[in-house]
A and B are shown apart, each in its own frame.
Chain A
């Protein structure tokens, strides 16, 4: 019996900056509903890995498959891989949500426009449809009353919740979170984590690069520990946090818990 293709499957991702190899072959499979946390000290390559998955960063080697559809890659002549067809990349990016550490909302557009732009331009939804979807999501992240405000009138935590809503509006099959709470003041972290916890409970497929160990332990189905561009430890949170086999992972956890 053949299994349904995984939501996201990446094989043997390598990334090289000049002579420095920051990713040394990372593979990962996310089934539907998986929440995979990627942890590790800074410089371990976890953000780079995540950015390679939608080609914001060009991997030097590797394969990326989204629900059985493989992204066609070819050498870009500078040691990296680029998409053979821009169209395919754009289609796949629309299906992979990405939430940035620094929110990256568009400051010249209102909150509502931030959330409707992609729906209108990329998904081709009608204006009414896009607005209705945006308003539903704004209610969900608790910021409906801010819909006519501009991003820099909001706090960091609010901006990040808007950024999550902007990503959700595209109805992504997989969501990637790149340290979504690292740029926030401590008292604003929880409002963002609460939203993410809700998403996990809904059964969304998520990959989360994070420093929030307790959160990772609570919501993850799998945890990946990266060290110097390699997977040092991979498994369910109980195993990785409770009984890690790698000494480096134990060391990292003891300084972060």
Chain B
């Protein structure tokens, strides 16, 4: 980063506005790094928490699905900004929480961790709901085939239902990560210098709002593009088996040919 900075400065010389661009671009990149960190960390923890939550959500007993249902309802139904404020400002109101020692000093009083917590809680709710839909859309017959062979519940989920649900969820999960990327701009409201926070900081010094907001937008676009590519790749890997062999139409088995015609892709 320092090298980049020196290089940019030497390229730009003293001429404005280039000198400002050169000076602050590395700062924006720092901010983009934090943004990416927030999204990746909360996204990964979110998936891990969402799986058990989705499994509870599809249970038959209201005692089991009630809790995740209420959780999902709350986190999908309230603004992310409110959730961030609840964690960052709300929790500190309680004496008991301020007395938690290490947990308070190092985690709950730190804006970084508060943002991670709020984002994780939020994205977990969305991913769990996606997972629930995916689990329920695994074709019934495939599950029956597993039952008919004598697999127990755990084996059915482990080998058939969850892997299938994961394949179904992938495109929608990519979408959720992109929404999270854009939502992460709200981290700037609790003093974090993510891409948006850093940009506002820079603008406060340079008064070049159009330039730097455009630049920030371009960086967001770049990250979103990278996420889209990443998920394309994952989908490609994961659904390799769903790719139909491209055969000449007349050489096709009649049943395969029908599938080709039905399949809009």
Contact = CB atoms under 8 A, between A and B. Distances in A.
Contacts of A157: 255
A17 B12 CA distance: 80
A188 B149 contact: no
B244 interface: yes
A83 B153 CA distance: 14
Nearest to B153: A86
A203 interface: no
Contacts of A187: 254
A86 B152 contact: yes
B152 A56 contact: no
Interface stretch (B37-45, B82-90, B158-166): B158-166
Contacts, number: 90
Nearest to A156: B255
Interface string A177-218: 000000011011000000000000000000000000000000
Contacts of A98: 145, 148-149
B17 interface: no
B241 A150 contact: yes
A192 to B, nearest CB: 12
B151 A90 contact: yes
B152 A185 contact: no
Nearest to B247: A153
A184 B151 CA distance: 27
B255 A91 contact: no
Nearest to A57: B144
Nearest to A157: B255
B188 to A, nearest CB: 41
Contact of B142 (A96, A104, A150): A104
Interface in A50-72: 54, 56
B164 A108 contact: yes
Nearest to A99: B148
B151 A122 contact: yes
Contact-residue bracket for chain A? 35 or more
B149 A93 contact: yes
A255 interface: no
14 contacts: A56-B144, A56-B147, A96-B148, A98-B145, A98-B148, A100-B144, A106-B145, A117-B149, A121-B155, A150-B241, A151-B241, A152-B259, A155-B255, A188-B254
B16 interface: no
Given A121-B159, A185-B254, A185-B255, A152 B152 contact: no
Interface in B130-169: 139, 141-142, 144-153, 155, 159-160, 163-164, 167
B254 A108 contact: no
B123 to A, nearest CB: 25
Interface string A70-104: 00000000000000001100111111111010101
Nearest to B254: A185
A105 B146 CA distance: 9
A121 B151 contact: yes
Contact-residue bracket for chain B? 20 to 34
Given A108-B163, A187-B254, A93 B245 contact: no
A92 B149 CA distance: 9
Given A108-B164, A121-B155, A152-B259, A93 B241 contact: no
B241 A108 contact: yes
Interface of A: 54, 56, 86-87, 90-98, 100, 102, 104-108, 110, 117-118, 121-122, 150-153, 155-157, 163, 166-167, 170, 184-185, 187-188
Contacts of A110: 241
B160 A106 contact: yes
| 9 closest A-B pairs by CB | A94-B150, A150-B241, A104-B141, A98-B148, A104-B145, A118-B149, A155-B253, A93-B150, A122-B150
Most chain A CB neighbours (cut-off 10 Å) among B142, B148, B255: B148
Nearest to A55: B147
Contacts of A166: 145, 149
B145 A153 contact: no
A98 B259 CA distance: 25
Nearest to A96: B148
Nearest to B263: A152
Contact of A152 (B142, B147, B155, B244): B244
A146 to B, nearest CB: 12
A104 B242 contact: no
A93 to B, nearest CB: 4
A102 B141 contact: yes
A252 B78 CA distance: 62
Contacts of B245: 153
B218 interface: no
